[in-house]
Every structure is written in structure tokens, then in C-alpha cells.
Amino acid sequence: MPLLQVFTSAHPADEHKRTQLLKGLSALVARVLGKPESYVMISLAARPEMSFAGSSAPACYAELKNVGSLSPDQVENLSKILCQELSTGFGVPEKRIYIEFTNADGAMWGWNGGTFG
């Protein structure tokens, strides 16, 4: 149900560090959203060309989609936690990270030949 997509122009870490970061993000999203980790998906698109504030210095854009409703307090908390994790994991300053949060209707989210509606 939760999907965290991460796009970053930062140089990729070695495979072990990337694997550990993705595992950590999966556990974090599951814990903070109170969802089973077995439904969490993390997607990493490494090294797209990005510009932020007119600069090509490393940047990061992430999207967190969730079946259900995220409250403003949850979004504030998630933004803080995810910015910290992404900054640490990719070496991108928090001020160069955008995160978009989306509530998804379960009937519009397909899985295993059905939906969550």
C-alpha cells in the first residue's frame, strides 16, 4: 500500500549501503504509517538529471503514496524523518529535498489481481 519513490542526482552509494538504506526506509515507512511492511514498496531512481534552485548540485525528490488518509501532523512528522534519512543516506542537504505526499483511494490501488477498496 505505501509506496515511497525516491529520485536523486547524488552519486550512488555502494550496493550494500543502498540495500541497507532501502531496507531502513521500508521499515521506517511501515512503522510510522502503522502498516505491515509486507505491503511497503520502496523505489529508487538513481542519477536522473536534476536542477534545484538553478543548481545541478545533488538534490532529491521523493513521493510517498499511501492508501488511506495522512493527517497534517503525520505529514509534518514524516517530512522531518524522511528528510533526515534521505539526507544522511544520499548526502543531500535537507534544503535540497522535496517530498510529495499523496492519499490514495484503496479502490484505485491495484494489487494481486484486485484492489484495496
**Which spans in the chain are helix H?**
15-33, 72-90
Model pLDDT, residue 26: 98
pLDDT mean across residues, the chain: 94
Model pLDDT, residue 12: 73
pTM of the model: 0.93
- Torsion, Cα of 38, 39, 40, 45 (10° steps): 110
- Position of cell 542537504? 93
Mean local confidence (pLDDT), 30-53: 95
β 60-67/3-8 pair status: antiparallel
pLDDT bracket for residue 74 (50, 70, 90): very high
Domains and CATH numbers, the chain: 3-115 (3.30.429.10)
